[in-house]
Structure 1
Amino acid sequence: MLSMSDISIRIAGRLLIDDSTVQIVPGARVGFVGRNGVGKSTLFHAIRGDLPTESGSITLPPRWRIGSLAQEAPDGPESLINVVLKADLERDALLREAETADDPHRIAEIQTRLVDIDAHSAPARAAAILSGLGFSAADQGRPCSEFSGGWRMRVALAATLFSAPDLLLLDEPTNYLDLEGTLWLEDHLANYPRTVIVISHDRDLLDTSVDRILHLDRGKLTLYKGTYSSFEEQRAMREMLDAKHAKRQADERKRLQAFVDRFKAKASKARQAQSRVKMLERMKPVTALVTQDVREITFPTPEKMLSPPIIAVDDVSVGYDPKKPVLNRVTLRVDTDDRIALLGSNGNGKSTLVKLLANKLQPFSGRVTRADKLSVGYFAQHQVDELNLDASPYDHVRRLMADAPETKIRGRTGAIGFSGKAGDTLVKSLSGGEKARLLLGLATFFAPNMIILDEPTNHLDIDSRAALAEAINDFPGAVIMVSHDRYLIEACADQLWVVANQTVTSYDGDLDDYRRLVLSIGEPRNGSRERPKETAKPERVRNERRTPLKQRIAEAEAEIERINGIIAKIDIALALPDIFTRDPKQAAQLSKARAGAESALRRAEEDWLEASSEFDEAAG
């Protein structure tokens, strides 16, 4: 088990964890929660051994492997599938050694171990993980260097999951995922066979994938059994009991102090008064758990409500290259107070659609009609890079109110969450959540009629996400959102639009229905990355289908050749004179290894036949 005994951790003079003890049993799936900046990621560093504790100890079973998401995304010419496969260090080392090993005894050990760790099924397992995280079969054979940083971080996550460590540490893994990838990850973690601790502010993940909640609050670690919803109930009860206890103690202190004050000068009562002074000194103060109220998020009310529809899109084609539109024949409308959530895997065109609606992209064909004087507030997480790191929130607001008096500028800065000294803090010193709040305030500064929110919850903690949901529901105008946070969508959206297959359609089910669809066997997770048959030229479609199949055939042929080489080496070893009488244990290992290699050879041959058959169909 993972044992943290009386640990204290201090960073730059600040005590983050104070004399806490927690025991996490093997196989537990733990959600690690707490406000931003309290020290959750710091504890991960300590568990990995990258950071010493000030006092106390952290111990793990001696053979446990710890796995966590790499800080830097993988890059370079290697294919995605190979990057993931190499994450299993033992398998990779054994396979490399198997290519050069000549000693019969060592060959037997290697092949027996490969059978034990099910090494021959590894490519299929790696491909399934990559597919779940949004990579098509064709994508999996492409070099890492062809993908953006966000997609390469998904590859890093896939590699971590594939390595299946005894202790899996994940720090906000959904920040790089769309809703579809998040739903897959929830299901994967819920069935993870070993110990996992995940830092997350995603309520649905914490209700779906974990069976314990580790809470870090004011330096203390507390482990609760159950999901996040159960944790909230238990914590509310604890707060109520502690508040009652604190009140009783305060009343008792007041009574004792009154006795001391009244009788300390009287000789006849001096002994009793002194006794009560000692009682006061021994009485350990109980502090009621005071809820740290989250700062409110508000959106300014539009000056004028417009007549519906505020946007009408009729038979529109849009994208970045007229020869290759991202979306085709899109027809839709947005009314005054709509709450619309966009669903669909990354790459399908959600960002293209919101840019069209925000008037940042012009259509190639069709017509977009906008209400007169329509104003749109547009928030996208990548806009963090556009903030001036050496300016303060006050400076950003002042640029939007150049002629306003100082008091009004300060008032508006406070209204978006940066009152007093916080308004003068440089952006580079703000946390991720504070930067997101600043961006939300700037995006909606001029009271737009419609707000577009593209992944607004990244870096927001659970309470801030709840505040955002409340702000959306209080806003009288239209809201269009793209988010991997199910809680936000379920709390706010009354319409679901699916962006897939180069178009936009209304989805009649709810998110539970959509989750079942995403996780269902054979559901096309990656259709967005390949052009639909009905809109692409037949020859291009055939080429697109043949390319990944050619790679799959080549990989199967290489695997067949490799396994045949292993079998040949084993046969040479088994042919040694008197091996069964001289060393029956080694002979048994070699026989077991040969049986495992033959089984792997059959699977590789079946894969080759299947891919070859599909290639012939695609070519025909």
Structure 2
Amino acid sequence: MLTLSDISVRIAGRLLIDQSTVQIAPGARVGFIGRNGAGKSTLFNAIRGELATETGRITMPPRWRVGSLAQEAPNGPETLLEVVLKADLERDALLREAETAHDPHRIADIQTRLVDIDAHSAPARAAAILSGLGFSAADQAHSCSEFSGGWRMRVALAATLFAAPDLLLLDEPTNYLDLEGTLWLEDHLANYPRTVIVISHDRDLLDTSVNEILHLDRGRLVHFRGAYSAYAEFRANKEALDAKNAKREEARRKHLQEFVDRFKAKASKARQAQSRVKMLEKMKPVARLVSDDVPDIVFPAPEKILSPPILAADNVSIGYDPKHPVLRHVTLRIDTEDRIALLGANGNGKSTLVKLLADRLTPFSGSVTRADKLSVAYFAQHQLDELNEDGSPYDHIRRLMPDAPESKIRARAGAIGFSGKAADTLVRSLSGGEKARLLLGLATFYGPNMIILDEPTNHLDIDSRAALAEAINDFPGAVIMVSHDRYLIDACADQLWVVADHKVKPYDGDLDDYRRAVLSSRGARSGARDAKERSADSAAAKAARPKAEKRVPLKQKIAEAEAEIERITAIIAKIDAALALPDLFTRDPKQAAQLSTARANAQAALHKAEEQWLEASSA
């Protein structure tokens, strides 16, 4: 059990957690929520022992392994599969020791422990996790250094999940994932066999993957057993009751104070008045509801509503190399007030399609027709880095309104969520959510006809995401969105388009149907090694690939199987040498039995490796 006993945590003089006590039972799956900057990540640091608490203590079973996502993405010559396998430190150490051990007793202990931790199935489990997070069998054989930072963070997440620590701490893990990876992770966490605490603002993850909520609210930790929707209802009812009690208490205070003020000067009532004064002093104020309202997000309406269609593409091929277009034969239409969510794993062409719609990429063939005076606003996470760190929200807005008076600039800053002194805060001091809010305001400043949102929720908390959903629904123009947040898509999108296999086509189903298809194709529970069935059209897509590309995964499988056969054969030889000792069975029958069991397990693993080699060789 993880126990936080009367802990207080202070950073730079600011009290983040104030004398809170919480007990997390083994096997609990906890969603950790709270406003950005409340101190959630700081508490993780304290649990890992990287930060001392001001008061109280944090305890857990001494043998518990604590795992969390590495701050830096892995980078090196090892393959993705090797990086993930090394995350299980015990297995890695035992396998290295097994190669040099000579003492029969130690050999038996090693092999028994390898059986206990299911070491022989580790490569298949690691491959299944990588596949679930979007890496094909061919990808898994490539070195880590070949991938971008975002993809390498997925590898770090895969390594953390594969290690399966007793206490798993995850801080916004979906920020590195697309919708498909998020759906797989939700399912994986829902079936995690040990204790997990995940910081998240994703409502669907908090409803499908956890069974408890931990809320850091105004410096206090509130522990609730149930999913997020149940907690949200409980909290709303509690806040309504607190507000009612506060109102009643205020009325009683007012009545007592009026009595004191009226009769304190009268000798006949002095005693009663003094009694009321003491009652007022003893009355503890009811904790007032601190407003958690977030500023609204408002997208300015376009000056003119355009006649549909506002954009149409006919038989378009587009990409970065005319010989190998990313998308082919794209035919689509976008009307005013359309709400379209783009689905499909990263790397399939969603960003390419978005650049086409934003007129940032010229097609190789086909035609694109745009309505006259069509204005498009484009928001993407990488644009956060383009904000001037030394400027304030006021400075950014003033550049767009150079001739406007001070009052109008301040009013516009307030409209996008930066009222008063907040407008003068330097960008470098803003939180990720505040930067995202500023960028949304700047991107849509002139009232576009169409807004393109590429992962707009990554830095937004739950309430800000709800405000974004309201803004999208209130906007009179068209909205195209790419997001891993199912709540946002469910709340706003009326069309789903799948980008896969070089095509763009409408999806005939809802997000629940898509979720089932994704989990089935990625082998979420079967542990399937390959990602061959990642979409309904994958067989046709593979048939079109060059034969040499098909052989790469097969060659890798053959090489892996041969290495496994060689390794297991060496282990069996050592066990046989130990079993051949003449007095082993009479001197230590228990050790002999362990060795016999270890040999049987190793023989079974050898048989499995040989079957894999035969299957790959035949293919």
TM-score normalized by the length of structure 1: 0.96
1:363-378 aligned at under 5 Å gives the runs 363-378=363-378
Map of 1:595 onto structure 2: 600
Instruction: Render the CA deviation track for 1:518-577: whole Å, top value 9, x for unaligned.
Output: 111567967889x97867996x62111111111111011001000000000000000001
1:368, 1:316 → 2: CA distance?
A: 8
- TM-aligned CA distance change 1:16 to 1:481, over 3 Å: same
Q: Cα gap change, 1:405/1:511 in structure 2, threshold over 3 Å: closer, same or farther? A: same
Partner of 2:320: 320
Residue 526 of structure 2 aligns with which residue?
none
Matches within 5 A, 1:25-64: 25-64=25-64
Do the aligned partners of 2:522 and 2:534 also contact (CA within 8 Å) in 1?
no
Give the secondary-structure state (helix, strand or coil) at the position aligned to 1:289. Answer: coil
CA deviation after TM superposition for structure 1 residue 458, in Å: 0.6
Show the counterpart of 2:511. Answer: 511
- In structure 2, how many angstroms separate the alpha carbons of the residues matched to 1:525 and 1:204? 25
C-alpha RMSD over aligned residues: 1.8
Post-superposition CA distance 1:436-491 (Å, at most 9, x none): 00110111111111000000001100100010000001100110000000010011
Alignment partner, residue 348 of structure 2:
348
**Aligned counterpart, 1:68:** 68
1:177-576 alignment to 2 at 5 Å?
177-521=177-521, 541-576=546-581
Evaluate the alpha carbon distance shift between residue 40 and residue 337 of structure 1 in structure 2; reply closer, same or farther with a 3 A threshold.
Answer: same
For residue 99 of structure 2, give the secondary structure of its aligned residue in structure 1: helix
Aligned AA for 1:188? H
Structure 1 residue 586 corresponds to structure 2 residue 618: no
CA distance in 1, matches of 2:522, 2:301: 45
CA change 1:535–1:569 in 2 (3 A) is closer
- Distance in structure 1 (CA, Å) of the matches to 2:617 and 2:229: 50
Q: Structure 1 residues 195 and 223 mapped into 2: Cα distance closer, same or farther (>3 Å)?
A: same
Contact kept, 8 Å, 2:318 with 2:327, in 1: the verdict is yes
Report what 2:616 is aligned to.
Answer: 611
Q: How does 1:142-153 map to 2 (within 5 A)?
A: 142-153=142-153
- Structure 1 equivalent of residue 120 of structure 2: 120
C-alpha displacement of 1:360: 0.3
Aligned partners of 1:274 and 1:564: how far apart in 2?
Answer: 92
- TM superposition shift of 1:371: 0.8
Q: Which residue number in structure 1 is paired with residue 16 of structure 2?
A: 16
Contact 2:377 2:450 in 1 (8 A): yes
CA change 1:534–1:217 in 2 (3 A) is closer
Over 3 Å counting, the alpha-carbon distance change for 1:232 and 1:165 in structure 2 is same
| Percent identical residues | 80
SS of the residue aligned with 1:100? coil
Task: Give the AA of the match of 1:152.
Answer: R
Quote the offset at 1:404 in angstroms: 2.4
CA distance in 1, matches of 2:263, 2:60: 57
Distance 2:534 2:441 in 1: 33
Q: Could you tell which deviates more after superposition, 62-71 or 400-409?
A: 400-409
Aligned amino acid, residue 555 of structure 2: K
Q: Which amino acid aligns with 2:278?
A: K
- With over 3 angstroms needed to count, the CA separation of the structure-2 counterparts of 1:392 and 1:611, relative to structure 1, is same
Match for residue 618 of structure 1?
Answer: none
2:527 aligns with none
In structure 1, what is the Cα distance between the partners aligned to 2:472 and 2:352? 22
Residue 22 of structure 1 and its aligned partner are, at CA, apart by: 0.9
Q: Is the 8 A contact 1:556 1:604 kept in 2?
A: yes
- 1:32-85 CA deviation, whole Å, 9 max, x = no partner? 111111111111111111111110111111111111110000001110001000
SS class of match (1:93): helix
Aligned residues of 1:135 and 1:526 also touching (Cα < 8 A): no
Residues of 1 paired with 2:22 and 2:120: CA distance?
39
1:417 Cα shift? 1.5
Deviation sequence 1:579-607 (CA, Å, 0-9, x none): 00011121111111111111111111111
1:262 CA drift (Å):
3.6
Contact 1:518–1:525 (8 Å) recurs in 2:
no
Q: CA–CA distance in 2 between the matches of 1:468 and 1:419?
A: 18
Q: Which sits farther off after the overlay, 601-610 or 32-41?
A: 601-610
Contact map agreement 1:213 1:231 (CA 8 A) in 2: yes
Write out aligned runs for 1:105-116 (5 A).
Answer: 105-116=105-116
CA contact (8 A) 2:153 2:176 kept: yes
Paired with 1:564 and 1:302, the residues of 2 have a C-alpha distance of 72
How far did residue 182 of structure 1 move? Answer: 0.4
Unaligned runs of 5+ in 2: 524-529
Find the residue that maps to 2:546 and give its secondary structure.
helix
The CA deviation at 1:270 is 4.2
Whether the 8 Å contact between 1:347 and 1:528 is mirrored in structure 2 is no
SS in 2 for 1:366: strand
Cα distance in 2, alignment partners of residues 67 and 406 from structure 1: 51
Deviation sequence 1:21-40 (CA, Å, 0-9, x none)? 11111111111111111111
Distance in 2 of aligned mates of 1:275 and 1:59: 47
- On the 8 A contact 2:394/2:423 being kept in 1, the answer is yes
Q: 1:404 to 1:258 in 2, by over 3 A?
A: closer
- Whole-angstrom distance in 2 between the partners of 1:196 and 1:575: 46
